[in-house]
């Protein structure tokens, strides 16, 4: 057990999927895992361990934002031996060709601030995905009814962002989407020598203001989870 994870030794798999929403963790476990068992409920942050195609998998919520994710990923790696960590979450599209329901694979992340920023001081560290996971996810995404994109994303440390000038520069420089966690995940994975990837479903569009209806979210998020699991064990 740790301060924030109540799982016993051996109850967390080496492969961990990381949705922000703990209820999404429950939905994904019930939908995709066999014999899923709840292994954490501390502070309401649900985690489940089961099997997918014979492979052990844990699906663990992280909460919203990089500070919250940083807590769980540090403990999952240092105390439970997690080796492969894949964020499964939602994102807002920043480019016209990226559509609602599409899946974005975060090849690299840019950010204005993260919990790790104090470590690097003047260095602008560029957190990137594990290439093997990225390649496998790209291949797993082909032939589906959704669009799939790979490129840079923006991990924001604020949800209600009033910096339109910053959004304009992101769009100008080809950043595909915005979310709130992946940059810190990638940084921690590099620090500890682990594999990491963010597989993101576009739930809304910053330019058009289109949003995915609530009743369509589970069906649309299913492709994201399936791509993540396929990539993890490719």
Report whether 180 belongs to an annotated binding site: yes
Q: Does 10 fall in a domain?
A: no
- The residues, ordered by sequence, that sit 6+ positions from 17 with a Cβ below 8 Å of its Cβ are 25, 28, 57, 58, 59, 60, 86, 87, 88, 225, 228, 229, 232
Q: For residue 233, which phi and psi values (nearest 5 degrees)?
A: -120, 20
| DSSP-derived 3-state class of residue 124 | coil
| Domain span holding position 180 | 15-232
Report whether 24 belongs to an annotated binding site: yes
Q: Does 3 fall in a domain?
A: no
CA quadruple 21, 26, 29, 35: dihedral positive or negative? positive
CATH code where residue 156 lies? 3.40.50.1580
pLDDT string in tens for the chain (234-residue length): 898 999 999 999 999 999 999 999 999 999 999 999 999 999 999 999 999 999 999 999 999 999 999 999 999 999 999 999 999 999 999 999 999 999 999 999 999 878 888 888 888 889 999 999 999 999 999 999 999 999 999 999 888 877 888 889 999 999 999 999 999 999 999 999 999 999 999 999 999 999 988 777 766 799 999 999 999 999
The pLDDT assigned to 218 comes to: 65
Report whether 203 belongs to an annotated binding site: yes
Q: Which residue has the tokens 């996971």?
A: 133
The count of C-alpha atoms lying within 13 angstroms of the C-alpha of 9, restricted to the half-sphere facing its C-beta, is 2
The count of domains in the chain is 1
Q: Does 1 fall in a domain?
A: no
Largest CA distance in the chain: 48
Active-site pick, 21, 79, 161, 204: 204
Q: Are 13 and 50 in contact (CB under 8 A)?
A: no
Report whether 4 belongs to an annotated binding site: yes
Report whether 156 belongs to an annotated binding site: no
Burial of 14-27, coded b for 16+ CB within 10 Å and e otherwise, reads bbbbbbbbbebbbb
Query: pTM of the full predicted structure?
Result: 0.95
Q: Does 83 fall in a domain?
A: yes
Report whether 204 belongs to an annotated binding site: yes
Q: Does 201 fall in a domain?
A: yes
Regarding beta strands 47-52 and 55-60, do their DSSP bridges make them parallel or antiparallel, or are they unpaired?
antiparallel
The pLDDT assigned to 135 comes to: 98
User: Is residue 223 annotated as part of the catalytic site, yes or no?
Assistant: no
């Amino acid at each position: 057990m740790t301060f924030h994870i109540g799982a016993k030794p051996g109850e967390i798999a080496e492969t961990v999927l990381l949705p922000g929403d703990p209820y999404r963790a429950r939905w994904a476990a019930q939908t995709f895992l066999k014999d899923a068992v709840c292994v954490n409920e501390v502070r309401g942050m649900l985690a489940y361990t089961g099997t997918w195609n014979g492979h052990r998998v844990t699906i663990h919520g992280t909460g919203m934002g990089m500070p919250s994710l940083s807590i769980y990923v540090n403990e999952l790696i240092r105390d439970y031996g997690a080796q492969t960590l894949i964020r499964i979450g939602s994102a807002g599209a920043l480019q016209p060709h990226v559509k609602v329901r599409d899946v974005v694979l975060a090849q690299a992340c840019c950010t204005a601030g993260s919990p790790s920023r104090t470590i690097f001081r003047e260095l602008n560290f560029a957190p990137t995905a594990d290439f093997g996971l990225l390649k496998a996810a790209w291949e797993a995404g082909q032939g589906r009814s959704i669009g799939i994109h790979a490129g840079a994303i923006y991990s924001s440390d604020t949800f209600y962002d009033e910096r339109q000038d910053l959004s304009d520069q992101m769009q100008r420089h080809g950043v595909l989407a915005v979310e709130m966690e992946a940059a810190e995940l990638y940084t921690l994975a590099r620090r500890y020598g682990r594999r990491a990837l963010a597989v993101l479903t576009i739930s809304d569009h910053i330019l058009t203001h289109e949003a995915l209806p609530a009743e369509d979210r589970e069906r649309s998020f299913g492709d994201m989870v399936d791509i993540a699991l396929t990539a993890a064990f490719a």
